[in-house]
Amino acid sequence: MNEHVYVPIEVALYKELLDRYPGAANSTIQSVIGDFLERTREDFVFEEKRGVYWDKIFLPNGTQIRTKYFNETLVGEIENERIVWRNEEYGSISQMVNTMRGNTSNNAWKVSEVRRPGDSVWYAADRLR
């Protein structure tokens, strides 16, 4: 079953359309809108979201993930749909964070912070869940 949206248009305009196309006003409107959208498709650039998911959280390319280990701040990044730190690719953010922290076992959600493109501050990763 098709769903519909009702769009208000001026009565005079609709009446003129009915006079010209009796019984076909709705399909005419739909056809005109479809043609318009097709003709103007190139006027709009739709960026495909690119990045990685950390559980249910989407992290776009350019996102930085940092952790502190022995007073050193270490920063990895999402690059080209990959999780990267020091030019090495990791299969998960947890794996990267554990490697950053001396190959120890950590809850990456608790020991890391995230800054996505457009963020002006770092967010505790656990806060993003």
Mind listing the pLDDT tens digit for each residue in 14-53? 899 889 988 888 888 888 888 888 777 777 666 677 999 9
pLDDT at residue 1, rounded to an integer: 59
What secondary structure letter does DSSP report for 22? T
Residue with tokens 């079953």: 1
Instruction: Flag whether pLDDT at 123 surpasses 90.
Output: yes
Q: Alpha-carbon distance 129 to 22, whole Å?
A: 55
What integer best gives the mean pLDDT of the chain? 90
- The whole-model pTM stands at 0.64
pLDDT at residue 47, rounded to an integer: 62
Q: Which amino acid is at 3?
A: E
The answer to whether the Cα torsion of 48, 53, 57, 60 is positive or negative is: negative
Proportion of the chain above pLDDT 70, given as a percent:
95
Residue 56: band (very low, low, confident or very high) from pLDDT cuts 50, 70, 90: confident
